[in-house]
Copies of this chain bind each other. A is one copy, B any other.
Amino acid sequence: MEETQKTIVVALGGNALQRSGETSVKDQQAVARETARQLVSLALAGHKLVIVHGNGPQVGNIFLHEQALNTPETPASPLDTCVAMSQGEIGYWLQQGLQNELLAAKSDRSVASVVTQVVVDQNDTAFQNPSKPVGPFYVDETAARTAVGDDAAVKEDAGRGWRRVVPSPLPLDIVERKFIQNSLAAGDIVIVAGGGGVPVVQQPDGLVGIEGVIDKDRTAAKMAELISADMLLILTTVDAVTINYRQPNETPLYEVTVEEMQQHVVDGQFAPGSMLPKVQAALEFVQLREGNRAIITSPQKAIEALDGKAGTQLV
């Protein structure tokens, strides 16, 4: 088994932690446990795992809760702090699920979540153009506007309803990279950069938070680059990426070359804030170094996909 042990960065969809309509914490913890079961198979196969999870639904909810009670005694937190809160929240659910599954499988590997800051550029154009959907879906623009207030931007999200959108700057560096690498070197499973990481910018007297939500797939690709991972495994709600999404001629992609995938991007096949950042992250990582592999699939197909038998494989 030794020779097949890989360092894998797993990007886990925020929506893969929450089934449609099942929004309670109990429901989300149950889904996290199920996802954990799939991930533990990867750990038992001996791979080194870094897990980057999304937080779209959760951080949106935290932000709404914060703003629902904004008084001098209990002021609302800004978005960067809300991202950090979602790292604690989802990290807890995921590591508990993984811990329980590892123990059930009689594995003595450790797992924990590391609060992670990610450096972005304060001049990133994303700050002028909010595009990342967060929080609940609303039936129409009016309902969304009523729920999130006049100051927030709202957009229609991939045919599924209206949502709040927030700035989503590109990740440039991961502040806790060395800490994470030390845990990985010790054989631990590390959950990092939840929700893409807490966005921070470099100021003269140090790092300072900035309001935004980084795309977790782009952060996962950056993480994979910085730690020289072998594979970027992007897990989402579908078994494979499709072209002609929701058309009669919708077609799943299995083995795809970089050139073919780039053409699909140019053709506008993938929705921004949804499949597009996943495809971009996969493209980015595969082009970095000979031998890098990127896969986009569902948690259920992850093991098969590793053997090249399922999912969208970018080569």
Contact = CB atoms under 8 A, between A and B. Distances in A.
Interface in A1-36: 23-25, 29
Contacts of A175: 99
Contacts of A86: 85, 88
Nearest to A192: B112
Interface in A35-91: 61-62, 64-66, 68-69, 72-78, 80-81, 84-89, 91
A312 interface: no
Contact of A206 (B74, B104, B188): B104
A55 to B, nearest CB: 10
Interface of A: 23-25, 29, 61-62, 64-66, 68-69, 72-78, 80-81, 84-89, 91-93, 95-96, 99-101, 103-104, 110-117, 135-136, 175-176, 178-180, 182-183, 185-186, 188, 191, 194, 198, 200, 205-209
Given A65-B66, A112-B115, 7 more contacts: A23-B75, A24-B75, A81-B92, A86-B88, A88-B115, A96-B208, A178-B188
7 contacts: A64-B69, A68-B68, A85-B89, A88-B88, A88-B89, A92-B117, A110-B182
